[in-house]
Every structure is written in C-alpha cells, then in structure tokens.
Amino acid sequence: MRKWLLLGICLLALAGCRRYEAPEETVSPSEETAELAPAAAGGEELAAESSPQAETAAAKETDREPVQVKGIYLSAPAAGNREMMDKILSRVDGSELNAVVIDLKDDNGRVTCPMDSPIVTETEASKSYVADMRELIRELKEEHGLYVIARVVAFRDPWLAEKKPEWCLKLSDGSVFRDRSGLAWINPYKKEVWDYLVEIGTQAADMGFDEVQFDYIRFCTEKGVGDVVFDEADTMGRSKTDVITEFTAYAYDRLSPQGIFVSADVFGAIIGSEIDAQSVGQIYGEMAGHLDYICPMIYPSHYGDGNFGIDHPDTEPYATVLAALQGSVRELTAYEQEGRKLAAVRPWLQDFTASYLKNHIEYGPEEIRAQIQATYDAGYDEWMLWSAACSYTWDGLKGQEEAREERESIAQARERSAERAASAPGENGTGTPEENSDFFSAGASSGPAPELESMPELPDHVSPAGSPDQRKKGDARQ
C-alpha cells in the first residue's frame, strides 16, 4: 500500500493537483449539484442542453486558459488609490508576480465598485472604492499582463445581515447572533444568499475578472455560536459540511460556464483535522472536487506551538509550510485514488510579521522565499502572498528570468524523482517521500493541525491576535 501511495504522491507532485485537463475533459456538473438546480420539464431540459445559449456557455468554459498564479492581495482602498497602485505596479512589473487578488465584496459586505445588481441596489451595499473596475481590470491585463482575481467574502457579511436580518444567524429567542465585534453573520443554509453570491460572481465575469475567489466560505466558530438555531426548513437534514460543499458545487456549476475560474479560501487547519472541518463546515477534499483552485491559508503564525512537531511554527516558515502542504498532498491523494478530479492547490503565504505572538520572528526576504520554496518542495507550483496593508517584501521575489530558470530546475528535479519512484519506490513500503524525492525536504514531520477552539474568531487571513501594525493602517478587517 505504501508503494502505491508513494507513487501517487510523486505523480501528484508532477501534476500539482491541478484541473488542467484538455477542454474536452471539462468536468460536468456533479450529481449532488444537479439536485439543487430548479426543476424543469424533461422536454425543456433537453431543449436547453442543445440551445445556442448552452453551447455558448460550454464554449466559454472550455476556452478558459489556466495560469500558474504567483500573486498578491490588494484591498479595494489600495486598488482605488492611483498613487499606491502606481507604486505597487512598478514593483510587480519585471518580477515573477503575474496575478493580483482584488476585493470585489469585502469583509464588511460592501461591494467595492458600482454594480448593477438588484440586491446590491436594494441594500445599498456598493461603496465605490474603485470608480471604474472594468478600466482597472483592462489596465492590469493589457498594460501589465496580470491575471486578475475577484475576492468575494461569502458568509461573513455584516452589511447584508443588517439589511436582511431574515438571512442572518439567529438565537432561539429570535434575536440576531453577533460575534465579539458585534457583527452579524449570514446563514449559509439560505439559498437566497447563494444566489446573491453567484450574482456577484456573474458580475465579476462580466467586468473581466479571470477568477472569482470566495473567502469566508464557512460557518462562524466564535464562542456562543452553539446557541444559534437553524430552521429545519433551511437545513433539510444537512450538516454544516454538507451545505458548504453544496454551495461550493452550486457556485462552480453556475459560474464556470461563464468563462471564469472559481476558487475558495479555506483554513489550513482543516487539513487532516476532522474536528476543525466539522466546526467550520469545510472538508478539504470534498470542496476541492468542486473548484478550479483551492487556497489553504497556511500562514506559520496561524499554527500554535507544537504543531507539526515544531516548537514555534512562526519561527520556522519553511518547515511549517512544507508540513502543512505535505498534509494537503496526503489528503488529496486519497481522493485522486478514487478517480476524482480535483482543484489545483494554491496556498496563501504570510508576508507580515506576527509581532503580537510571544514567539515570532521578523518576516523579510528570507522568510518569504522559504515559504515559496516549501510550496515548490511539496510539489505545488502556485502561491499568493497576504499583507493586509498591501505592503510587500519585494526583495523576497525573483525576477522573471530567474523565476523561469527556477521552474526549469524544479521540473527536472520532479522528473528524476518520479523516475526513481517508478523504478524503486522502496522495498516493502519502506520508502518515504523525503527519501525518494529531490523536492521533498527531510526532517519536517507532519503533526496534527491546530483545532479552531484554540483560535479566536478573527478575519480568516489575519493571525490570531491581529496585528497592531495592520490596525494602525486602518485595515477594515481587524
């Protein structure tokens, strides 16, 4: 069994867990998602399948060209600030970066540009940080050659919850549940919310975004949330993990035919931890089966002391990221062995100093590069850097030519590793990924992921205590 598992891991490393099949192999909607679609007469369904509209949608989906993303996050205020964008783009140009993630619907539930949408109009959700999103996307693509991703915060939406209290989490007495910051959360079981999020994704496709990336695609886990009451008419017997997976499939099946890629941010802690998966509703492998990209947030500062056998994970960025992603390889390999097609893995990496932790280190060029190297060494090719203040460690990035040479070197190392694994993967299951690969690093043992009960409820991309430096810069997500 170890022999076949090792071979699977090496093959997985070569493929990068990605859904890069030829157009004719595009995945059809899942059976689970098909059950969620509105019922229609049989004759009407057959007519729709062969309609010009259906053919156009199919052509858009198969024409999508995947990109191996190396990106950074840009808040809406940053994206809408000409001076700040000019400075950022001057550093992006000529670097290995080829993508940006821009807030389209932010942590406060505000849509960050003018948008013609019934619910956006009704709830007055638009706050125009970016006056002309189409023009910004055009500039980023045509003048800077960037792949542009729309970040859409899903179920943490205090604005919508206040405007539509019937859609938010409620306590048994009918009052609105609020987290420690006094913010209300949206009920993930509400189908109306699913349609709202799909509408935002549709608008993103129409504006020219290449990808829609859902964040906070989960349940609230803060203290007191156990007192929330869910109506059986909404739950229909479904668990938290059921409904999060179903929403993921629902959104993917409706957005991907529009020619836009679909991804989701998930807690790194859910990898290998059933407790955390059940708490937030995210099952890593199940969600990966309904996405183009799955983006685990594996910031070293998110892991508590002792995780992965590392005394203080924030102080060892390479070992922490490698261990987290080796866990990803193991979990997704099991799904691939069942014949499932899975999303590409594109982790979020840490580009900030967690000075609020007792045991931390300053994050500079070496720490950024260490995390990127760990991503490659785990067999993955894509990554994104997170800085809430959009203040990046540019010296930790390579130039385009240096990055090209690095890719070639990695590809050669992986090819040699796969050849060795195929010819002599270890007798009687004694071989390990570390022993049989140039790109797995020995010594970074895997261990249990941190359980969410030990982590306070804060924005998913922010380390547990929240950075004082980020708060000073006015990050609305603190």
Rounded mean pLDDT of 321-341? 94
pLDDT band per the 50, 70, 90 thresholds, residue 96: very high
**Domain 64-472: which CATH class?**
alpha beta
Q: Which of the pair, 284 or 455, is modelled with greater confidence?
A: 284
Rounded mean pLDDT of 57-86? 87
Cα gap 210→137, rounded to integer Å: 9
Contacts 24+ apart (CB under 8 A), 113-117: 113/76, 115/200, 115/203, 116/203, 117/199, 117/200, 117/203
The number of beta carbons lying within 10 Å of the beta carbon of residue 366 is 14
**pLDDT computed for residue 461 by the predictor:** 81
Q: Are 225 and 282 in contact (CB under 8 A)?
A: no
Q: Are 193 and 155 in contact (CB under 8 A)?
A: yes
CA-closest candidate to residue 78, choices 35, 125, 136, 21: 136
Rounded mean pLDDT of 71-86? 98
Percent of the chain whose pLDDT exceeds 70: 76
With a cut of 50, say whether residue 34 has pLDDT above it.
no
Rounded mean pLDDT of 234-244? 97
> What's the whole-model pTM score?
0.81
Q: For the segment 354-397, what is each residue's pLDDT rounded down to a tens digit?
A: 999 999 999 999 999 999 999 999 999 999 999 999 999 999 99
**Cα angle 351-356-360, degrees, rounded to a multiple of 5:** 65
Q: Are 381 and 293 in contact (CB under 8 A)?
A: no
Report residue 39: phi and psi, to 5°: -70, 145
CA-closest candidate to residue 255, choices 329, 347, 150: 150
Cα-trace Rg, the chain:
22
Percent of the chain whose pLDDT exceeds 90: 70
With a cut of 70, say whether residue 463 has pLDDT above it.
no
**Residue ranges per structural domain of the chain:** 64-472
CA-closest candidate to residue 343, choices 209, 188, 211: 211
Rounded mean pLDDT of 315-333? 97
**pLDDT computed for residue 59 by the predictor:** 52
**pLDDT computed for residue 462 by the predictor:** 62
Question: Which residue blocks in 224-296 are alpha helix, DSSP H?
Answer: 232-235, 240-255, 274-280, 284-288
Q: For the segment 270-292, what is each residue's pLDDT rounded down to a tens digit?
A: 998 998 999 999 999 999 999 99
